[in-house]
Amino acid sequence: MHKHTDWKWTSLALAAVITALGIYPAGPLNPAGIPEALTAEASQEVSISPIPADTAAPKASISPNQVPVTHAPAASEYDNKVVANVTDVLNLRAEPSLEGKIIGKCYRGAGGTILEKKDGWTKIRSGKLEGWLNNDYLVFGQDIRPLAKELGLFTARVTTQTLNVREEPTTESAIIGLAAGDDYYPVLEEKDGWAKIQLASDTSGYVSTDYTKISVSPGKAISIEAELAALKETEKQQTKKKAEEAPKYVINVSSDEIYLLASCVMMEAGGYSYDGQLAVASTIVNRVKSGRWGSSVTDVIYAQGQFPGATSGLLDKYLTKGPSSSALKATKAALSGTNNIGDYLFFNSTKNADYESYASYTVVDGNCFYKK
């Protein structure tokens, strides 16, 4: 009887050990009976019988003279972390003082591991930086969780070789990709044993939380040097983008000269059609390209004896009033290379034109454009 009892207790204890070692599959199975976490070696279909629900390990008893052991609460992943909760940016300082040198910055949601606390300041390690943050703008411990949820600071690390990423949180849903083992993915939401992760910039899907470790990952502090370098690179890219987006004109021209040219077009052809305005603008562009009256729009318009209105004060009235949208459009078209009068450099009103003296000419609205 004694031997039989020992055997029974040993078997039950062994069953408990087997269960504790995780020999039986955990987590959801897909419709084929394959666990959501697959390795290259275990890609074939498997079928393992679960432990009967009514099997129980022997219960230990406590005699009256034994005192139950009281365990401390389990450590939380938030215990040694801190996160900045600011609307803009929080300075990371070399010393725990407002006079301390600024060595970096923490934006909202950035933080790190707590190293030390002193007089209302907390020293942290964040990325490659160590420094002090003012406690008035920090959240600690479990208070981090709601902020982390709001800012999307949770990441999922895949704990198996590969993990199915599904369209919906169920093993019956289509597989849209695979998450690589030990890689980290942003967690968008958690739901009933599933986590929605950002697999790529344009792809998100669900993975079983049985095969992931979800933790909070505060953003990293950025050094002053890195921030200045980033700002310079941003300015460089913006300048490059502006240059690429800027109109490609056939002559060098400033924004003020575009306005001047459009005003001169208004003075000479404001009452004419768009084609008439384009013809005048094209003539002025031709003159700048020729260099005979100077090398700029300003030189050409104010050249002696060429545009009487420019020196009489008439052009000033159009400059004050401003060009019409049609004149401005015609001006920019001419500057961009659109030309409806060829290489003519001269024009006169049709009322004053001396057609017989021209080598060739063309008439557009009320002006005659010609070669001498």
Question: Which of the 8 DSSP states describes residue 296?
Answer: S
Neighbours of 1 (CB within 10 A): 5
Question: Which of the 8 DSSP states describes residue 85?
Answer: -
Q: 267: closest CA among 317, 222, 223, 311?
A: 317
Provide the token pair at 269. Answer: 């052809």
CA–CA gap between residue 343 and residue 136 (Å, rounded): 72
For residue 76, the model assigns a pLDDT of 74
For residue 77, the model assigns a pLDDT of 77
Neighbours of 333 (CB within 10 A): 17
Helix (H) or strand (E) holding 225: helix 224-245
Residue 264: φ, ψ to 5°: -65, -40
CA–CA gap between residue 315 and residue 318 (Å, rounded): 5
Provide the token pair at 84. Answer: 């900045």
What are the sequence ranges of the domains in the chain? 154-216, 255-371
Residue corresponding to tokens 């729009």? 297
Q: 186: closest CA among 148, 212, 163, 152?
A: 152
- Strand, coil or helix: 81: strand
Angle at 190 between CA 140 and CA 149, to 5 degrees: 30
CA–CA gap between residue 133 and residue 91 (Å, rounded): 7
Residue corresponding to tokens 């095969």? 211
Q: Which residues of 52-65 are buried (b: 16+ CB within 10 A; e: fewer)?
A: eeeeeeeeeeeeee
Single-letter code of the amino acid located at 4: H
CA–CA gap between residue 39 and residue 162 (Å, rounded): 6
- Strand, coil or helix: 88: coil
For residue 59, the model assigns a pLDDT of 47
**Matching fold, domains 154-216 and 255-371:** no
Angle at 173 between CA 190 and CA 39, to 5 degrees: 80
**Looking at domain 154-216, does it have CATH number 2.30.30.40?**
yes
Q: 127: closest CA among 217, 216, 220?
A: 220
CATH topology of domain 255-371: Arc Repressor Mutant, subunit A (1.10.10)
Neighbours of 93 (CB within 10 A): 20
For residue 179, the model assigns a pLDDT of 94
For residue 66, the model assigns a pLDDT of 54
For residue 149, the model assigns a pLDDT of 87
Q: Which residues of 264-294 are buried (b: 16+ CB within 10 A; e: fewer)?
A: bbbbbbbebeeebbbbbbbbbbbbbeeeebb
Q: DSSP for 309-338, please give it.
A: HHHHSHHHHHHHH---HHHHHHHHHHHTT-
Collect all residues with Cβ–Cβ distance below 8 Å to 286 and sequence separation of at least 6. Answer: 339, 341, 343, 344, 345
Angle at 59 between CA 57 and CA 60, to 5 degrees: 130
Angle at 365 between CA 360 and CA 367, to 5 degrees: 50
Going residue by residue through the chain, which has 372 residues, state the pLDDT in tens, using 9 for 90 and above: 444 444 344 444 444 444 444 444 445 555 555 555 543 323 322 233 343 333 334 444 444 555 555 555 556 778 899 999 999 899 999 999 999 999 999 999 999 999 999 999 999 999 999 999 999 999 999 999 999 988 889 999 999 999 999 999 999 999 999 999 999 999 999 989 999 999 988 899 999 999 999 988 899 999 999 989 988 999 999 888 887 777 789 999 999 999 999 999 999 999 999 999 999 999 999 999 999 999 999 999 999 999 999 989 999 999 999 999 999 999 999 999 999 999 999 999 999 999 999 999 999 999 999 999
CA–CA gap between residue 123 and residue 116 (Å, rounded): 5
